[in-house]
Structures are given as C-alpha cells and as structure tokens.
Structure 1
Amino acid sequence: MAVRGWRPAAAAIAAARPGGGGPGGAPGPAPALERAPEAGAGAAAPATAALYVHWPYCRKRCSYCNFNKYVVPVVDEAAVRACLVREARTLLRLSQVQSVTSVFFGGGTPSLASPGTIAAVLEAVAGVAHLPAGTEVTLEANPSSASTPRLAGFRAAGVNRLSVGVQSLDDAELRLLGREHTAAEARGAVEVARELFPGRTSIDLIFGLPGQSRGAWARGLEAALGLCDDHVSLYQLTLERGTALAAQVWGGALPTPPQDLLADMYQTARTMLVAAGFRHYEVSNFARKGALSTHNLSYWRAEQYIGVGPGAHGRFVPRGEGGHSREARVQTLEPDNWMREVQSQGHGTRRRVVLSPLEQLEELLALGLRTDEGVTRERWGCFSPQLSLEAVFGAPGEAKALQEQGWLILDSGGLRCTMKGLALLDSLLPDLLCQLQRCWAPPAMPEEGSCARLQHPEEDPVGGSGAGGEAVGRSGLAGAVSRNIQSQNR
C-alpha cells in the first residue's frame, strides 16, 4: 500500500547516505528546537507532535523482559491493523496536530507485523496530518524477523530507519537473555539493514549480565562497532520482578554483578565510543555522522507525542475536545480489550491526567538533563516564561552546590550535567526537583527534605509499553542510566 504525499524523495534518500547532509553529514549540535511555546505554561499548543505506534506481540518472551508484550498462537493482524489505523486517526484529530515530526513503530516485535500494516498506519497518518517527505520513520526489528525481503518490504512501506535488537554478539549471552536469534543471525540482519537503510541503522546492546566481565563486554562492543557505526544504544541489564532471569539471580543460581563493575563497564563503553567518533548525546545513546534519533529527542525535549496501540503513552493537548492543557495519556494495556474500546469509541485511552505547569517543568528537567545539550534557556522559557532557569538554579542552594562540585553547569546555553554528573543523574535529580518545587510555590511546599517525588511516565501501573524509541531503560549506572521515558515502548 503506497503512502501518499510523503514518501522519501530522491534527495532525502541521498541525504541519508554519508556526506548527503542528513544523518550522513558531518557531526554537529543537536537539531535546534523549533516548536511553539507549550500549552499549560500559558501559551498556545504546538501544532506538531511525534507519533509512537505499539505492536504488542512477540514470538517468545525474553528472560529479562517485563514489558507489555504478548505471546499468542495466532494474531488477527487485519483486526489489529484496523484498530491502529482508527486510533491514530482519532488521536491525531483530537490533538489537532498539523504536522507529524517522526513516527516510531515499537513493541513487542513490530518486525513481526507485515509491511502492509506499517504502510496502512503511515497512510492514515498522512491522511490526517502533514507527514513531510523525509520524516524519520523508525521500526524496531529482531534479527530473527529481519530477512532481506522483509526489511525491503518495510522500506517500501515507508520505513527509513531501523533499530535492531542485537543485545549481544555472543551466543552464550544470547541464550542467557532468552533471545531467539544467534550472533550470526544478528550480524546478518545488521548487514542487510545497513544496505537498505544507509546511515540510519541503530543497534541495541545490553551490558551487566550475570558473570559478564569488563573484558568480555569491551570485546563484544568492539565487535559491534565493526558491524555498525551509525547509532548505538547501550542498556545496563535491570533485573525486573517476575522475569526468569531475576528469579535465577535472586535465587542464587546466577551471580549479581557488582555495582563498581557496572560503572566500569559503562565508562569503558563511553571511552571506546567517543574515541571512535561517536557523540554521547544522551545517557544511553551514541551517534556518529549526525545520526541522532529525531524521535527520541522529541521525548527528551518534552515536546508533544501521541501514543497509539496497547499500553502506549502520550503527552499532548486535546484541542479537539476543547482542552487547553497538556495531558498524560495511557492506552488500555491488554490488546483484546484495547481493540474492543477502539472499535466502540475510536480510541482506547484508559487513563488521562492533566499535567500542572510544575509537573511539566519536572518532566522537562528530568528528561532534558539526560542529554548533552541539557535544558536550554529557550525550552525552559516555553514552559516557564515567568520563572527563569537562573532564578531557580542560579540562587544559593542545592543546584549551586552541585555546580561548585563539578556535577552541573549553568551558563548562557542553559542547565546541563557535566560528563561525570550525567553518570549520576538520578542521584542529583531529587535535590534539583526539591529546589524547583520550593521556587515554584513556596507556601504550598512541604518542609525541606520532604519534597514531592516526581512520578515518571513509566511508573504508571501499566507495565512497560508506551512512548517508544530505542532508548529503552535497561540502563542503571548509579541509578542514572535508569528507566527513561522510552522504556515504555518495549
């Protein structure tokens, strides 16, 4: 099925290749923020949004996974496709978004869906909102469902960026993780992906496995860099309640990796990647040749995004309902229930919460500080035109102390972590949030030391699916490389 009016033009395809001016161009700063001021902060809602589409099905559940995935004997793909199409149309109309800045198909295992389903969703999006030629359209793929004909079909459907769930290039580690592919299959899938999506292939790798040594991790990473040097996402293994791997470790059958070793592994990876020319643009993410993920940047910059599919999360202003404030939305978790709701009312939104201006600033701070650009003054001003970054974090207090200790920087560009501060972000955030809360509404704040705790989107009681992006939260170095907003998509 063709997607009308937005398929990549020859120039856009050329720009994706090295030297073409897009992801293949020379490294440089992250794309500048080009959004209208955010609603909920006293200004009009932006007319743009990113779109995440969740495919909830897998062939098997990996030993470490507790995300919103389902293993079923048969998937009624026609019914799922119809519901994804209908919900995408409904939520885009509800948001009154005029232009979609990126699309991400996550899961689950979206490479198990047919190219026809991907094309149908993209055509539906293009029928409701502007989907410019060359818009980043990413699909997550497992090596076991990434044959050449299948990936070529996804490219013909409109996908122009692939995120491959490699996780490891060691067969013993893959078996421990419960992956269904081998190291050879992973290499083959990445090689095909780079031929079909030149300059726009990303790979996921996991470190901190039980029994894994620093040397083994370094060797595996070196092998991966020889395979793909566009974009790499690194995730520290997190033992999740209810998973087979956690039960083995907590039961004593497998060793618990020491925290110092995990920190050394992360630092080793960062050193190797930076030396290889990668930009460490977010806690878990590294890119060469400008191949940053546009979609993930929209989350970290607290821009609008719409979540479609079972358990998907969103952040947008429902203008079509007369709304004027940004809402946090969660779609119904279980696929069959979600489909019934979509069929009856056009969408399966199970939970919606209006975010206060303070809550929006808390999210902006927690997510923006994950990036090397941090929270820019321009972006902060969109959410808080009356209270400047300097007024909150330049005054004597916790933030000033963190700056003096070399963890934080506040300058003309905005607020950001130093490299050593980035590795300990979750340890720094509570103090920063307390200072923000006191400055925002002093009379209403609890006593010092008892500041309200920020609830991240992934802490909603809906499992692990939602917003999307390959920056999935299996990271946990000193708590900083912890679950982030993209962890909702797996």
Structure 2
Amino acid sequence: MAVRGWWRAAAIAAVRPGGGGPGRALGSAPESEPAPEPAAPATAALYVHWPYCRKRCSYCNFNKYVVPAVDEAAMGACLVRETRTLLRLSRVQSITSVFFGGGTPSLASPHTVGALLEAVAGAVHLPTSAEVTLEANPSSAGTSHLAGFKAAGVNRLSIGVQSLDDAELRLLGREHTAAEARSAVEAARGLFPGRTSIDLLFGLPGQSCGAWAKGLEEALGFCDDHISLYQLTLERGTALAAQVWGGALPTPPQDLLADMYQTACTMLVAAGFRHYEVSNFARKGALSTHNLSYWQAEQYIGVGPGAHGRFVPWGEGGRSREARVQTLEPDAWMQEVQRQGHGTRRRVVLSPLEQMEEVLALGLRMDEGITAERWGHFSPHLSLQDVFGGPGEAKELQQQGWLVLDDRGLRCSREGLALLDSLLPGLLCQLQQCWALPAPRVAPSHGSPGRSPAGDRDGGEATGHSRVLEAVTGGE
C-alpha cells in the first residue's frame, strides 16, 4: 500500500522523529486495571513486497532496487517460504486480503504471484471473496500480462498513473506516457471491472491548481471506481528533492497545496465518490478492504524485503502485538529466509499505549473515524469519552468544528480531515496524559486531564516519544 504525501500514515514525521526504532515503552494500562489476556485473532491481512523496478523515479525513496537481472525463481521461493513461516508464527486461521506492492510487482510473472497465493491457501483459509490487489505500472500492464495475473488469482489492480501530463511524467521520471496510462487503465477495467484503482500525484513543482483540476477531470473521464490522491513529498536522497532544494525548481506554496486538495475533494464528491479516507475515494462501494485493515488497526503480516507487519506471534509464545520489519536489502533478506525461514530484522513489542496511539492516528484518517466498538477492543477500561470527552484539546477541536465525538465514536469533520496532520499531535498528547493518570482520575465523570498544546505542526511535546506508524507497509 502506498502511504505518501502530506498526510501519509497520519503524520509519520510529526509522531515519529528520527526514523523510529526500538525505544522505551510509553506506558501501560493503569495498574489497578490490568489489560486482559488477549485472544488469538483469527484473521489478518497479508502484504507482499516485490522490491524490483526497471528504473527509480525522481521522487521515490521506497525500498526498491534496480538490478541488471532478477533471479525471480529464488525471490519467489523465498517469498513463499517466509509467508508460510510468518503465517505459522501468527497462527491466524484466515487471510482477509492480499496486497502485492513494491517496487513494481507487475514486473513479476503471474506464475510467481500464483505460487504465493497457492501457498497461502495451503496454509490457512483464503476465501474466494478475499481482495487480492496487485500494484502495476502502465509500462508493465499489457492486456495479456494482466490476464495472467487474473488467472493467478489477482482480482484488483492499483495502477500508478501519477499524472496525465507528459511533461509532468518526465519530471517525475516515469517510464510511461499519458496515452499509455489511459490504455493501461482501459485494459485493466476490461479485466477487473469495478476493481481498478488509479494513483494520482499533486503538488508537483510548478504545477498550478488549474492544471491539476484539468488532469483530474480528464482522469474522471476514463477511471474506474477508486482513486487515490497523494501530495508529492520531497524525500531526502531523491533527485527531485535535490532539484527543488537547490533552487532549480520551485517549492509549491502551502496555500496552493491546500487549494489543490480541496478542489480534488469537491470534484470527486460531485462525481459520486465517497471520500472514505484522507487520500482515498471510492464509489459504488469500491473501498479497498486491504487498506481498511491498516486504518482499522487490524493485524497484518508483511512479507518480503523491507515489509512491515503488526501481529501477535502466538507460535513463538508471544501474547502482545509486535511491530515487525523485514530486512531491507533483497540478497541479505533471501539469505536470512533460506537460513531461518524468515528475514525479520527488527521486532518490537508494542505497549498498550503505543497500540492506542496507532488506533487514534490511523482511525482518524477515515471518514467514519474510530468507532466506540473498535476503541473498546484495544482499550476496555478507558472509553473515548473518558479520554476525549472532558476539557482539553479534543473539546476545543470540537468547538472549532474540526472534530466530532458522539455515541458513534470519534471522527474528523470534513474540514478537520484536511488538517489531520496538525490536529494529531495535540490529540496524542491528550491520550498520553490521560493514560498516565491513576485509574480513579479517568472515570467518565471527570473527563480527560488538562489542556495540551494544539496543532503543533513540528511535533511539539505530544510527539517526541512515540513510534506511532513506523510505516504502514514497506511498499508504495
């Protein structure tokens, strides 16, 4: 899954300074109300990372590699073996969705994709209705190749269109042209009707709001029922960032970026799309169930070089959710898989508070927000009203019309959703302060503790302690 741009993973930069690695746990459930022993979750989503690309785009800093030749047989065998190992460790009974990300997984053969899906189905239950998504670039999305993926078990495509302007595509270092992007989407829709998503980027250097709106209007003329919009983020070490920071290209003003986002939201909603997540829009019920599993803080297992996961390793005697990261470099990862069955490089047990931080940061990305039921699954002793119902940051955000707290749960208003990266630090601080209080002081009649600084765009006091959302996955 790609989690990029101005709001990616609910302000990763704001809540995880310095790249985030193992660190001290922030807190735990109040001693007078110990967290209950969790039951083994029966399901999980599965993310599979294909790390190879034909070239590196000018803006990309994802874990991907351009090599003279790929040993696909060895890579495929290791993906299968690690999948079986991690499924065994998780002891899940069923996989709810599979997502092949990258890199460029459409460069892999349908045989490799099919072999991995067969391995999943042989180890656990893989329902015939499970969503199986594959990311594809227009330059590797010929009709016959896509038909092979469909025969292998893929039933949804996510196509990296990014732009319908050839000059913008050249700036981004993309291989395809606008015409090739249109052809790829049309071919995909013929094979996967109602289940073809496209990615578009905005906020490119020199891009105007008018040009962005024109391109989006063109996309609405041939797209399917799902669109993901991401603001271009300048990442250290990329060619495009060097050009902008060196003065060769202009930096888009923040007001312009906000106008682009609001223009897109207005256009897509008018076209019948539901704005169901900060960066994602769907119509006719075509929401991505795999991505929803991330935002709803469900278990997911990450397979492949650099993939991230969140699951309880019951097969190793674990009883708490862990954040896992697989070894980044493909050759080193394959050696580890061949030696020990998996290439997990780092694993960190998430404290109860850290899990709640993730529930908060991810759940507020959705238009439905965080339901009381979902919150209660992770926090049986502190309700949403306990934490956010009394005087404090959340109350002020409600009064300003940016946040809603009611019997349904906690969610952003439409206006608040666009400001999520600014709202989160204060809300995280309020959660941390409430969590640290003795149990008698968090009874519903008392509400949450005192006010914390709001809207600190640079992180502020609320953010310097947490590993919230190290990344949702290792892929785009």
TM-score by length of 1: 0.85
Deviation at 1:396, TM superposition (A): 1.0
Letter in 1 for 2:190: E
* Residue number among 80, 85, 88 corresponding to 2:75 in the alignment: 80
CA distance in structure 2 between the partners assigned to 1:186 and 1:124 by the alignment = 32
1:458 aligns with 2:462: no
Contact 1:305–1:314 (8 Å) recurs in 2: yes
1:425 aligns with 2:420: yes
Give the structure, 1 or 2, with the largest relative contact order (CA under 8 Å, sep 6 or more): 2
1:363 aligns with 2:358: yes
Letter in 2 for 1:455: R
1:212 paired residue number: 207
Letter in 2 for 1:367: L
Deviation at 1:458, TM superposition (A): 3.4
1:285 aligns with 2:265: no
1:125 aligns with 2:120: yes
CA distance in structure 2 between the partners assigned to 1:119 and 1:344 by the alignment = 24
Describe the superposition over 1:174-210 as per-residue Cα deviations: whole angstroms up to 9, x where unpaired.
0000000011110100000000001000000000111
Contact 1:68–1:311 (8 Å) recurs in 2: yes
CA distance in structure 2 between the partners assigned to 1:392 and 1:261 by the alignment = 35
2:44 paired residue number: 49
CA distance in structure 2 between the partners assigned to 1:45 and 1:393 by the alignment = 29
Letter in 2 for 1:457: L
2:65 paired residue number: 70
Letter in 2 for 1:55: W
2:23 paired residue number: none
Counterparts of 1:70-469 in structure 2, within 5 Å, are 70-442=65-437, 450-453=461-464, 454-458=466-470
Contact 1:41–1:384 (8 Å) recurs in 2: no
Contact 1:40–1:356 (8 Å) recurs in 2: no
CA distance in structure 1 between the partners assigned to 2:304 and 2:397 by the alignment = 41
Contact 1:204–1:233 (8 Å) recurs in 2: yes
Contact 1:40–1:326 (8 Å) recurs in 2: no
Contact 2:195–2:224 (8 Å) recurs in 1: no
Deviation at 1:126, TM superposition (A): 0.5
Deviation at 1:431, TM superposition (A): 0.9
Deviation at 1:144, TM superposition (A): 0.4
Letter in 2 for 1:46: P
Contact 1:208–1:236 (8 Å) recurs in 2: yes
Describe the superposition over 1:122-143 as per-residue Cα deviations: whole angstroms up to 9, x where unpaired.
0000011100112100000000
Describe the superposition over 1:430-487 as per-residue Cα deviations: whole angstroms up to 9, x where unpaired.
111111111111279999663453323336xxxxxxxxxxxxxxxxxxxxxxxxx35x
CA distance in structure 2 between the partners assigned to 1:277 and 1:446 by the alignment = 42
Shift in CA distance, 154/436, structure 1 to aligned 2, threshold 3 Å: same
Which deviates the most, 225-234 or 50-59?
A: 225-234
Describe the superposition over 1:392-439 as per-residue Cα deviations: whole angstroms up to 9, x where unpaired.
000111111110111100011100000111111111111111111111
TM-score by length of 2: 0.87
Contact 1:68–1:108 (8 Å) recurs in 2: yes
Letter in 1 for 2:71: D
Which deviates the most, 169-178 or 42-51?
A: 42-51
Letter in 2 for 1:391: D
Shift in CA distance, 81/46, structure 1 to aligned 2, threshold 3 Å: same
Contact 1:51–1:306 (8 Å) recurs in 2: yes
State the Cα RMSD in Å.
1.7
Deviation at 1:41, TM superposition (A): 5.9
Letter in 2 for 1:157: A
**Unaligned runs of at least 5 residues, structure 2:** 1-33, 440-448, 454-460
1:7 paired residue number: none
Describe the superposition over 1:340-376 as per-residue Cα deviations: whole angstroms up to 9, x where unpaired.
0000000000000000111000000000000001010
Describe the superposition over 1:292-345 as per-residue Cα deviations: whole angstroms up to 9, x where unpaired.
000000000000000000000000000001111000000000000000000000
Letter in 2 for 1:221: L
Deviation at 1:227, TM superposition (A): 1.1
Contact 2:226–2:287 (8 Å) recurs in 1: yes
Shift in CA distance, 452/183, structure 1 to aligned 2, threshold 3 Å: closer
CA distance in structure 1 between the partners assigned to 2:179 and 2:451 by the alignment = 57
Shift in CA distance, 208/448, structure 1 to aligned 2, threshold 3 Å: closer
1:489 aligns with 2:441: no
| SS of equivalent residue, structure 1 residue 124 | helix
Describe the superposition over 1:192-236 as per-residue Cα deviations: whole angstroms up to 9, x where unpaired.
000000100000000011111111100000111111131000000
Describe the superposition over 1:104-159 as per-residue Cα deviations: whole angstroms up to 9, x where unpaired.
00000000000000000000000111001121000000000000110000000000
Contact 1:282–1:370 (8 Å) recurs in 2: yes
**Unaligned runs of at least 5 residues, structure 1:** 1-38, 460-484
| SS of equivalent residue, structure 1 residue 438 | helix
Contact 1:207–1:236 (8 Å) recurs in 2: yes
| SS of equivalent residue, structure 2 residue 205 | coil
CA distance in structure 1 between the partners assigned to 2:102 and 2:206 by the alignment = 28
